[in-house]
Structure 1
Amino acid sequence: MTETNFTPRVFSGIKPSGGLTLGNYLGAIKRWVDMQSSDTESIYCAVDLHAITVWQDPEALKSGTRELAAGMLASGIDPEQSILFNQSQVPEHAQLGWIFNCVARVGWMNRMTQFKDKAGKNAEKASLGLYAYPSLMAADILLYHATHVPVGEDQKQHVELTRDIANKFNNDFGVDFFPITEPVIEGPGMRVMNLRDGTKKMSKSGESDMERINMLDDADKIAKKFKKAKSDAEALPETVEGLAGRPEAKNLVDIYAGLNDMTPDAVIAEYAGAQWGRFKPALAELAVAKLAPISDEMKRLMDDPAEIDRKLARGAEKARAIATPILDKTYDIVGLLRS
């Protein structure tokens, strides 16, 4: 087996199903912006093929894909420095995904907790795509020989599956072709919770709009939602450990930390003993300062959907320039005849 030196490369993606929230921004997009560097190639993707594992209205899916792209661009993803595209414009994702369907084992898929969570009691009625999408996710990553994937803790299992698939492929064919990708899990604000219930993740599909901060919310809405966010009767503690058992308080401290590039410890050091009447207005002011310019730029970009489409198409061309030779070599290794 020949040892391969892999170029440092980051890949990550978000499903364009529903609107962008603060959870998407702090949990993913802000980190992607921070990871842009001349030393590491960055590839970021709207994974629209993953979105259709459950029913999507076709026009809403197109609109959501453009909104996601606008959110990435407005947040600071630079299409000259990173590659930005939507997944379905690079057919090599689906092609490698099928090969990985034949590498991955059914037992591995049965252990994937997210299918159980999403399908629930109706697993027999769920789409085959919802069951098998982790192998497509592995293809998304390995199609670019990505060495690192920034993910939340709840996505770590998918990167572990990607490593299993890469290992099995390499071992089955006696090659050192696919890298053993490393998950990157770090930074405050990784898991943003519901503003009405700190035990639930902030979701695009929550019942009340007051549960979440939408990235298209204007300054007034952002401020109002944080000032009305659920907290508790106690003041902020002297140490982070004092947030244990206080999910709403912890969530608001984590959001402040994520928005201001601080650790939760530093936030507590600044606001120890503060009542919510002091902290929540400060959080609202910070959120407006950080998020309102992004919201304004998103709206400006979305007024010109043709330009968003052009940027995504250019990104897809750049992505295919990397993906095509890797897929071609994969076909050769597997023994698929190409005339």
Structure 2
Amino acid sequence: MSLSKSIIFSAIQPSGQLTLGNYIGTISHWMHMQDIYHCIYSIADLHAITVNQNKKLFRKNIFDTLALYLAVGVNPKKSIIFLQSEVQEHCQLNWILNCHTHFGELMRMTQFKKKSKVNSSNINIGLFNYPILMAADILLYQSHKVLVGKDQMQHVELVRDIAKRLNFLYGHIVTVPEVYIPNINGAKIMALLNPNNKMSKSDNNINNVIFLLDNHESILKKITRSVTDSDNKIFYDIKNKPGISNLLNIYSSLTGISIAVLENMLMNTTYKHFKLLVAQSISEKLLQLQEQFYYFKNKKNYLRDILDFGACVAKKQAKKTMKKIYNVLGL
């Protein structure tokens, strides 16, 4: 990869099936970014253990996540793909950043407050400390940009604050990253039955979520049942028509047609017919992805080789950053 290219970092937890929200907001852009940026894609297994994991299922999810990365067109010859836990420098930098982050800063993180309510029986320090490990992930590779969904923007602002603090104290030792959201409308896909909440793979109600491996029948059923409103007019109004706005986001993101054009096109379309159009566009896109996924899923040795090579390359960059930080700290 060219050293003149900006470095962009992105990561996804292997904590279950990825969703249409993950696809539209993040991974659908990965293939196109490979020729523009020096891309580093991590499978964030350390982040995933803030929730108790079944060992066998966890390992399966890791390799399934990698197969999905490849299915959307990530090329291991162009991009670095690695498993977070296989580069120990993430944990080393995490501790150092702990010592440069204020308790009050973490207390302000809204995701911790939300997740604490959902996981009230397991409010562990890892859940609280999550943004600092995220900061280590990003700063370790001197990332210029971070591809995240809108819900992660507060975390990236904290990463920027930590980076600026380090640079103020020790000179310019880390790059201050910028948030990169390639698709503003589609960056946050909402739950189908509760369009005021984000679509999440951990949702207790599977009818809220389109999973990337759902078949056409399941997709059609979920979209048909999705919450809309009673006036049968299709236009974008996130406050008063969150359900229809969410479906417009999905349809626009998958077809490449702007929402303004869709509003014109769908002016005389019923909600029922609109839902059929949305379901069809999802099915067509996911069928292509699924064919590739099952092809790569069965290549176990190839998948393992990719992770081994990716960890080796990632570790070289990580070591450079850690050497610089250890030097200024006197470690």
> Which residue number in structure 1 is paired with residue 313 of structure 2?
318
Q: CA deviation at 1:125?
A: 5.3
The AA in structure 2 aligned to 1:77 is V
Of 153, 156, 161, the residue aligned with 1:159 is 156
> Which residue number in structure 2 is paired with residue 269 of structure 1?
264
Alignment map for 1:39-50 (pairs within 5 Å): 39-50=36-47
Q: State the distance in 1 between where 2:202 and 2:134 align.
A: 22
> Which residue number in structure 2 is paired with residue 290 of structure 1?
285
Alignment map for 1:22-33 (pairs within 5 Å): 22-33=20-31
- Indicate whether 1:139 and 2:136 are aligned: yes
Q: CA deviation at 1:244?
A: 3.8
Matched residue SS, 2:26: helix
Q: CA deviation at 1:60?
A: 1.7
> Which residue number in structure 2 is paired with residue 69 of structure 1?
66
Of 153, 175, 180, the residue aligned with 2:176 is 180
Q: State the distance in 1 between where 2:71 and 2:121 align.
A: 40
The AA in structure 2 aligned to 1:235 is N
Computed over aligned residues only, the root mean square deviation of the Cα atoms, in angstroms, reads: 2.1
Distance 1:143 1:286, change over 3 A: same
Q: Deviations over 1:50-97 (max 9, x none)?
A: 111221112221111111111111011111111111101111111111
> Which residue number in structure 1 is paired with residue 233 of structure 2?
236
Alignment map for 1:182-221 (pairs within 5 Å): 182-187=178-183, 188-221=185-218
> Which residue number in structure 2 is paired with residue 20 of structure 1?
18
Note the residue ranges of structure 2 that are not aligned, 5 or more in a row: none
Give the stretch that moved more between structures: 258-267 or 96-105. Answer: 258-267
> Which residue number in structure 2 is paired with residue 279 of structure 1?
274
> Which residue number in structure 2 is paired with residue 8 of structure 1?
6
Give the stretch that moved more between structures: 104-113 or 120-129. Answer: 120-129
Distance 1:226 1:144, change over 3 A: same
Q: State the distance in 1 between where 2:193 and 2:233 align.
A: 18
Matched residue SS, 1:194: coil
Q: CA deviation at 1:300?
A: 2.4
Among the aligned pairs, what percent are the same residue?
37
Q: State the distance in 2 between where 1:324 and 1:272 align.
A: 57
Report if aligned partners of 2:236, 2:248 keep a CA contact under 8 Å in 1. Answer: no
Q: State the distance in 2 between where 1:223 and 1:296 align.
A: 19
Matched residue SS, 1:45: strand
Matched residue SS, 1:145: coil
> Which residue number in structure 2 is paired with residue 333 of structure 1?
328
Note the residue ranges of structure 1 that are not aligned, 5 or more in a row: none
Give the stretch that moved more between structures: 91-100 or 214-223. Answer: 214-223
Distance 1:171 1:123, change over 3 A: farther
Q: CA deviation at 1:123?
A: 6.8
- Indicate whether 1:92 and 2:92 are aligned: no
Of 45, 49, 52, the residue aligned with 1:55 is 52
Distance 1:255 1:303, change over 3 A: same
Report if aligned partners of 1:253, 1:264 keep a CA contact under 8 Å in 2. Answer: yes
Distance 1:106 1:302, change over 3 A: same
Q: Scaled by the length of structure 1, what TM-score is found?
A: 0.90
Runs of 4+ in 1 over 6 A off after TM superposition: 121-124
The AA in structure 2 aligned to 1:222 is I
Of 246, 250, 257, the residue aligned with 1:251 is 246
Matched residue SS, 1:149: strand
